Chains A and B, each alone.
Chain A
Amino acid sequence: MNERKDSDVSTDPFPTSGDERRLDLDVELERDTEGVWTPSSLPSHDEVPPHIGFWKRFRRNKVALVAAIYLVLLVLAAVFAKQLVPQNPNVQNLLQVNAKPSGAHWFGQDDLGRDVFARIIYGARISLEASFLAVALALVVALPLGLVAGFVGGWVDQVLMRISDAIQVIPALVLALVISGILGPSTTNVGLALAIVFAPGFVRLVRGQVIGVREETYIEASRSIGAKPLFIIRKRVLHNVASPLIVQAAVTFGFALLAEASLSFLGLGVQAPDASWGTMLSRAFAQVYEAGWLLWIPGGAIAITVLAFNLIGDGLRDALGTETRGA
């Protein structure tokens, strides 16, 4: 999924972009001499294509950059947990219960003497896995549905939108809780449940973008020279959908992480003895009178990571120059 989006951004979606840059010059000239051009009269695709200088613009946003570096490190730590963390996250040491942080145990030890640092890193793995599954699955389902709803319109669009409405009428956490609870507690089921919860938002976003560009002149032009609908979608529409979708996906990732933590806090995610940040919080809460400080570590990890996703979302929004439509 990610691969597809990346390639959409990096390959040139405008074979005519050379012309457009020339057009940009014309715009400048006319504005200088006659002052008749206003920015709003420019079609949206006359803006610099988002991938040009994307990295340059993203890098300028120092906060988003720090957030991105943090997330890359977190993902690496989660993937290479076995190599990085010498302690086994599930090995108990009942002689050192609720021990405060020390040189040997950076984040201390929990109520069963397990190393909290190791559990945070291994927990990151589960929390990120479930969130990734949720976002990826939601995208896979929502992208074609949104394209169809936007392109075909008519009753297909109506039906899809009413179903989205109906799903969104149920509060997200309640729906996720109910679905994952019925399916049975597991990380995969939490991911599945969250995918169902997030899909309508993505469908709406894609549909909105498609409707926005459907009537643009360049689409009409493609159609008039006999381009097939699938070709138009692939070469013309997906590019317009990609940027806001990437932004939305980053922000949704943060929501997914938060929801996963909430569900596993309630006992519906990963099962003991494996750690996720939510289950660590609920265990720490059970010990609140003995070792309240244990609450800070998994809670802080959740908050910082959710914040990082939001900041990256902001950074991407600025760097890609998109305003999300529809959702």
Chain B
Amino acid sequence: MLTFIIRRIAALVPLLLIVSVIVFGLIVLVPGDASTTLAGGDQATPARILQVRHQLGLDRSFLSQYGRWAGHAIHLDFGRSLYSNQTITSEIWQRFPITLQIAGGALFFGLLIGVPLGIISGIRPRSVADRAVVFGTSAAIAMPSFWLALILILNFAVYRQILPSRGFVNFSDSPYEWFRHLLLPWIALGVLTAATIARQLRGALADVMASDHIRTSRSKGLAPLKVVGKHGLKNASAPVLTVVGLQVAYLVGGTVIVESIFGIAGLGSYVLTAVTRDDLPAIQGSVMFIALLTIIVNLLVDVSYALLNPKVRVE
């Protein structure tokens, strides 16, 4: 198991290298002269252009620029934003916990709704309950999550003023207000996750329930709940785990738009702000951070997959 983990981590080194080249290489997409565009385009003063050029090292070759950037990025040091005096890393760390609460809550919501639905429909495929779940999840998957966010605001914050339409409250300040402010973002993001998990679990469970060893455990008189819990879910959990891993990337991406709708200053809205003001170092830093996050989640999924299924370890 340990060698499996070590091998997996070793395989991440080239991946991280390529990701960093791609992320740093975003600079070649900047239209026109990079230092002029990044300094504000036509309104940029010559002094500001020079300052930007110097700060980003744009007067040097691409390779030496990359080397300098990557050398710092290894220590999670992404330099300074073009617009604030704080380091990008400290800004990311301030905002990351908020995004974690949004994405984590949405994932929790997705599991809370998706797993029971998946079990209900997976145990008896083609039953009425199953058909209802399949129909509901199809609709949920087609529903754009940002539109869902807007509709939720319309119904719960505008028509009925039960929940706040925007903002964020720290858990330590008021757990109740924290929950009220995050409920709509969680639902808006989590509905798609719930539908995806339910679908995946339904498929996996239906396959497992049709297999011989389930028939055996049924015929030897094992209680139905135990059949599902001990034999069915255990075998059906691996595919679901993969989906959960994929959902994390979706959720992080989704926070960009959900944070902007709900006016929450998280990592997602940080990326958006950086993009709208052409703050290239902040863009590079936050994208690299997000990529790192996805890589770590993928690693965790891989490892737990190997824990569930010993065959994976050998391959």
A304 / chain B contacts, CB cutoff of 8 Å = 142
Q: Does A262 contact B144, Cβ atoms closer than 8 Å?
A: yes
A171 contacts B275, C-beta separation under 8 Å: no
B256 partner, pick from A173, A289, A292, A296, beta carbons under 8 A: A173
Contact at A166–B22, with CB atoms within 8 Å? Answer: yes
Residues of A that sit less than 8 Å from B by CB: 162-163, 165-167, 169-175, 177-179, 181-184, 258, 261-262, 265-268, 281, 284-285, 288-289, 292, 295-296, 299, 302-304, 306-307, 310
A-B CB proximity, top 5 nearest: A181-B275, A171-B253, A173-B253, A307-B142, A299-B147
A317 to B211, CA, bound (A): 26
Query: What is the chain B residue whose CB lies nearest that of A181?
Result: B275
With A171-B249, A178-B26, A285-B261 as known contacts, state yes or no: A162 contacts B15, CB within 8 Å: yes
The smallest beta-carbon distance between B259 and chain A, in angstroms, is 11
CB distance from B138 to the nearest CB of A (A): 8
Query: Are A281 and B150 interface neighbours, CB within 8 A?
Result: yes
Quote the shortest CB–CB distance from B50 to chain A (angstroms): 21
Q: For the side of the interface on B, what is the size category? A: 35 or more
Residues of A near B29 (CB, < 8 A) are 179, 182-183
Residues of A within 8 A of B290 (CB): 170-171, 174
Q: How far apart are the CA atoms of A181 and B200 in the complex, in Å? A: 34
Residues of B within 8 A of A (CB): 14-15, 18-19, 22-23, 26, 29-31, 138-139, 141-144, 146-147, 150-151, 153-154, 158-159, 165, 249-250, 252-254, 256-257, 260-261, 271-272, 275-276, 278, 280, 283, 287, 290-291, 294-295, 298
Which residues on A sit within 8 Å (CB–CB) of B26? 178-179, 182
Q: Are B18 and A166 in contact (CB under 8 A)?
A: yes
**Contact of A182 with B280 at beta-carbon distance under 8 Å, contacts A170-B19, A173-B253 already known:** yes
Q: Judging by beta carbons under 8 Å apart, are A169 and B30 in contact?
A: no
Contact B15 A178 (CB under 8 A): no
For the complex, what is the distance from the CA of A182 to the CA of B141, rounded to whole Å?
30
Q: A171–B283 Cα gap in the complex (Å)?
A: 14
- Chain A hits for B276, CB < 8 A: 181, 267
A51 to B249, CA, bound (A): 37
Complex contact B275–A182 (CB within 8 A)? yes
- Complex Cα gap A221–B313 (Å): 37
| Bound Cα distance from A173 to B29, whole angstroms | 17
- Min Cβ gap B82→A in Å is 13
Contact A174–B142 (Cβ < 8 Å): no
Q: Do A177 and B271 have beta carbons less than 8 Å apart? A: yes
15 of the cross-chain contacts (CB-CB < 8 Å) are: A163-B22, A165-B18, A169-B291, A171-B253, A171-B294, A178-B26, A179-B29, A266-B272, A281-B150, A284-B150, A285-B150, A285-B261, A295-B154, A303-B143, A307-B142
CA distance A135 to B224 in the complex (A): 48
Q: Are A174 and B147 in contact (CB under 8 A)?
A: no
Bound complex: CA A120 to CA B138 (Å):
24
Taking CB as reference atom, which chain B residue is nearest A308? B142
Contacts A183-B31, A261-B144 given; indicate if A169 touches B252 (C-beta within 8 A): no
Query: Closest A-chain residue to B251, C-beta based?
Result: A171
A284 contacts across to B, CB distance below 8 A:
150
In the complex, are the beta carbons of B280 and A166 less than 8 A apart?
Answer: no
Contact B295 A303 (CB under 8 A): no
Q: For the complex, what is the distance from the CA of A288 to the CA of B261, rounded to whole Å?
A: 12
Given contacts A169-B295, A179-B29, A303-B143, contact A266 B257 (CB under 8 A): yes
Expressed in whole angstroms, the Cα–Cα distance for A307 and B144 within the complex equals 10
Query: Quick check: A178 and B283 within 8 Å, CB to CB?
Result: yes
* A159 closest partner in B (C-beta): B18
**In contact, A178 and B142 (Cβ under 8 angstroms):** no
Contact A174 B15 (CB under 8 A): no
Shortest beta-carbon distance from B142 to chain A in Å: 4
Complex Cα gap A3–B76 (Å): 48
- Known: A181-B283, A299-B151; 13 extra A-B contacts, CB below 8 A, are A170-B290, A171-B252, A173-B253, A174-B287, A178-B287, A182-B283, A261-B146, A266-B257, A292-B158, A295-B150, A295-B151, A302-B144, A310-B142
Q: Contacts A166-B19, A178-B26 given: A303-B147 contact, CB under 8 Å?
A: yes
| Residues in A whose Cβ lies below 8 Å from that of B253 | 171-174
A178 CB contacts on chain B under 8 angstroms: 26, 271, 275, 283, 287
Cβ A288 vs Cβ B153 within 8 A = yes
A281 and B30 alpha carbons, distance in the complex (Å)? 28
How far does the Cβ of A262 sit from chain B's closest Cβ, in whole Å?
6
- Chain B residues, CB < 8 A from A302: 144, 147
Name A288's contact: one of B23, B154, B249, B275 (CB within 8 Å): B154
Knowing A162-B14, A181-B276, A267-B276, the reply to whether A303 touches B257 (Cβ < 8 A) is: no
Contact A303 B142 (CB under 8 A): yes
- Contact among B159, B257, B271 for A262, CB-based, below 8 A: B257
Give Cα distance in the complex from A182 to B22, angstroms.
14
Would you give the shortest CB distance from B173 to chain A, in whole angstroms? 27
Q: B260 to chain A: which residues have CB within 8 Å?
A: 266
- A302 and B146 CA atoms in complex are apart in Å by 11
B158 and A289 within 8 A (CB): yes
Q: Given contacts A162-B15, A178-B287, A182-B26, are A170 and B147 in contact (CB under 8 A)?
A: no
Do A182 and B150 contact each other (CB < 8 Å), given the known contacts A166-B22, A169-B15, A173-B256?
Answer: no
Closest to B290 in A: A174
Minimum CB–CB distance for B313 against chain A, Å: 21
Measured in the bound complex, the distance between the Cα atoms of B278 and A258 in whole Å is: 24
Chain B residue nearest to A193 (CB atoms) is: B29
Chain B residues whose CB sits within 8 angstroms of the CB of A295 once the complex forms: 147, 150-151, 154
Contact A170 B291 (CB under 8 A): yes
Q: Least Cβ distance of A39 to chain B in Å?
A: 17
